[in-house]
Amino acid sequence: MPDLDHDWDLRLLDRLRCGDGAAFLEIYQRHKEGIFRFVYRLLGSLEKAEDVTQECFISLMSSPARFDSRRASLRTYLYSAARNLAFKQFRDLGGEVPFEDRKSGDSPSTSGPLHALLTEELSAEVQKAIAGLGPLQREAVILFEYEGQSLAEIAAIAGTDVGTVKSRLYRARERLRRDLAPYLNGGGGASRQESDHER
Amino acid sequence: MNGDNLLDRREHDEDRELNVLLKKWRAPEVPAVLNARVAEAAQRQFRHTSLWKRLLTARIPVPVPVATLALVLLSATTFLAVHSQKPAPATAPQAAAAVVQAKIDIPAPRRVEVNPAMATETRPDLRQDPAAKKVDPGSAYVTHVDLTGFEPVKELKIRILPRGNNNER
């Protein structure tokens, strides 16, 4: 995130601390997409993603002093808060990830029914494969692949070091490559994975 | 995306096929109902925030150069205000110190009542004075001191006499 964005976040936070509701809504508008997507992919439930996202922003609104700009950016702080709330939900669910079927209209593909069907199927398979990962590996993949976070940012969000994040990411991709082998270049991915294991 | 992130991503370039496949999973947009819920919560939270509280806790960001300039101007103004006051004349305290207070007894005009009987008692020479004898001994008369031609002394010389020095009397 560019420093200008970070500075603007800090200004909004200053205003929020003074009781400016408009500043809070602007913070929400700036970060809601990323937080919601992240939580949704982590939990696999639209309803729970809504709850967690709302709780995440309301906790910031209620006690903005908890955020320390010397430790992390606001973006990292929000992702970290959302992650903790999502993991709490995850524990409440007994470790299961209840991935929902996508409702019609969610898919952005409009280039023909066959393509849409294929995209839907691929999307569902990827979703299923990521749901099969452990929570920490899933978190690393989502933040790295979908949210464009750096390893250092992911480490800050997860409260660990960069080496651990790299390791989680590597193992997650190995697993995904294996699970999604039939969709990788006509199944060629499986043979490549086997050759990787032989190394 | 910063430089570190680019380096992180290069390590995964070989796995482009997997990356493309992963991108097939698209997350839904933020539901409108969530926006409404958050806006409602914010409205509830900030409705009770009074204008006074906002004014009392408001902050005004001031750029450092402006703050420095203001501080320098304030210091210079204070310095000039303190040092522009004229110093008091140096001779004044000396003059004040030269004033000596002295207690001077100045004879004041007074009204004296003289009883002829008393006068003859205290002045034996008046007993022989026929004029004094003419006066009715029962009546008293008053002597008025006339201050016509009285002038205050032009030059006053003060001599301080020690209390026990009888020779000076």
Residues of chain B neighbouring A121 (CB-CB closer than 8 A): none
More confident residue, A174 or B148: A174
Rounded to whole angstroms, the Cα distance separating A87 from A135 reads 8
pLDDT band at A192 (very low <50, low <70, confident <90, very high): very low
% of residues, chain B, pLDDT over 70: 46
Note the Cα A43 to chain centre separation in Å.
9
CB–CB contact B30 A62 (8 Å): no
Q: Which of A89-93, B38-42, B96-100 has the lowest mean pLDDT?
A: B96-100
CB–CB contact B22 A148 (8 Å): no
| Mean pLDDT confidence for A173-178 | 92
Residues of chain A neighbouring B55 (CB-CB closer than 8 A): none
pLDDT at A8 over 80: yes
Residues linked to residue B113 through DSSP beta bridges, in sequence order: B142
Q: For chain A, what are the domain ranges? A: 1-98, 111-199
Q: Residue A162: closest CA among chain B residues belongs to which residue?
A: B8
User: Touching check for B151 and chain A: CB below 8 Å?
Assistant: no
- Compute the mean pLDDT over every residue in chain B, rounded to the nearest whole number: 72
User: Touching check for B35 and chain A: CB below 8 Å?
Assistant: yes
User: Touching check for B8 and chain A: CB below 8 Å?
Assistant: yes
User: Touching check for B58 and chain A: CB below 8 Å?
Assistant: yes
User: Touching check for B143 and chain A: CB below 8 Å?
Assistant: no
Amino acid present at A128: K
- Compute the mean pLDDT over every residue in chain A, rounded to the nearest whole number: 82
* Residue B67 C-alpha, separation from nearest chain A C-alpha, in angstroms: 18
pTM equals: 0.59
**What would the pLDDT profile of B116-162 be if each residue is shown by its tens digit?**
566 556 666 655 656 555 555 555 555 666 777 777 777 777 778 87
| Mean pLDDT confidence for A71-76 | 90
Residue B129 corresponds to which tokens in the numbers above?
């004075």
**What would the pLDDT profile of A17-56 be if each residue is shown by its tens digit?**
888 888 999 999 999 999 999 999 999 889 999 999 999 9
DSSP string, A106-171: -----S-HHHHHHHHHHHHHHHHHHHTS-HHHHHHHIIIIIS---HHHHHHHHTS-HHHHHHHHHH
Q: What are the C-alpha distances in Å from B168 to residues B36, B104, B106?
A: 113, 17, 19
User: Would you tell me how many other CB atoms lie within 10 Å of the CB of residue A81?
Assistant: 20
Q: What are the C-alpha distances in Å from A45 to residues A37, A39, A77, A181, B162?
A: 11, 9, 22, 26, 114
User: Would you tell me how many other CB atoms lie within 10 Å of the CB of residue B51?
Assistant: 8
Rounded to whole angstroms, the Cα distance separating B141 from B115 reads 7
In this structure, CATH architecture of domain A1-98: Orthogonal Bundle (1.10)
Rounded to whole angstroms, the Cα distance separating B74 from A33 reads 48
Of A40, A46, A58, the CB nearest to B41: A58
Fold of A111-199: Arc Repressor Mutant, subunit A (1.10.10)
Return the C-alpha torsion angle B111, B116, B122, B126, nearest 10. Answer: 120
pLDDT band at B72 (very low <50, low <70, confident <90, very high): very high
Beta carbons of A163 and B9 less than 8 angstroms apart: no
Of A24, A33, A146, the CB nearest to B30: A33
* Residue B70 C-alpha, separation from nearest chain A C-alpha, in angstroms: 23
Rounded to whole angstroms, the Cα distance separating A163 from A155 reads 9
